Amino acid sequence: MNRRSVLKWISRAIGWTTALIVAIPGASFITAPLRRRGQSDAIRQRVVKLANLRVGEPTQVAITGSRQDAWVHYSAEIVGRAWVVRETDESVAPQEARVKVFSAVCPHLGCVVQFNTERGFNCPCHKAFFELTGKPVPEAELGHKNPTPRGLDDLQCQLVEDEQTGEWWVEVQYEKFEYGLTAKVVRA
Ligand code: FES
């Protein structure tokens, strides 16, 4: 191999190496949203102390977490809201206490449902109403069509004792669900 050929090979090798250095991160960046498809966005976090909840008075809590859109990562912001409903009063030991947690997203078209002292929860957008159990209020009782296709989406939750303070917390697994469907389907 003469000197000219060697220089040609070296030049080609440098060219290929440079192309790979640029192409690999670039491809990874472009395909990131596709690779995330199907991954669960569930967030598990402590949202409220049991001692701060009262029976018959649902408490709205904010879910914070990082959020990723197609290509940008946003850290520590409010990504959702939920309603925590205490079902047993203070006479029941914390480890036996029962709470329910519902996503605050209306299953009709995604507005945020409010607590309604007269009648469980209501959605201000198209007048959907829900009982404290999360079930839709029947049409006959409402006097108009209830537009929601299903009840409020319940979220997995558990009571956990803080190792340092001994206080009991409600820990929630927050997920988003498709709205407009009769079935509860996790949003991909
Ligand atoms: S979005 Fe709630 S009733 Fe339509």
Q: Is 35 helix (H, G, I), strand (E, B) or coil?
A: helix
Tell me the per-residue pLDDT of 142-153, one tens digit each, with 9 for 90 and over: 999 999 999 999
For ligand 1, what atom is nearest to the CA of residue 147? 3
Compute the distance from residue 124 Cα to the ligand 1 centre, in Å.
7
User: Quick check: pTM over 0.85?
Assistant: no
Mean pLDDT of 164-172: 97
Compute the distance from residue 107 Cα to the ligand 1 centre, in Å.
7
Tell me the per-residue pLDDT of 29-79, one tens digit each, with 9 for 90 and over: 455 544 554 455 789 999 999 999 999 999 999 999 877 777 787 778 999
CB atoms within 10 A of CB 169: 20
> Structure tokens of 74?
């946003």
d(C-alpha 77, C-alpha 98), whole Å:
29
How far does Cα 45 stand from its chain's mean position? Answer: 11
Pocket test of ligand 1: the residue of 102, 109, 139 to mutate, having most ligand atoms within 8 Å of its CB, is 109
Q: What pLDDT is recorded for position 75?
A: 77
The response to whether residue 123 sits with its C-beta less than 6 Å from ligand 1 reads yes
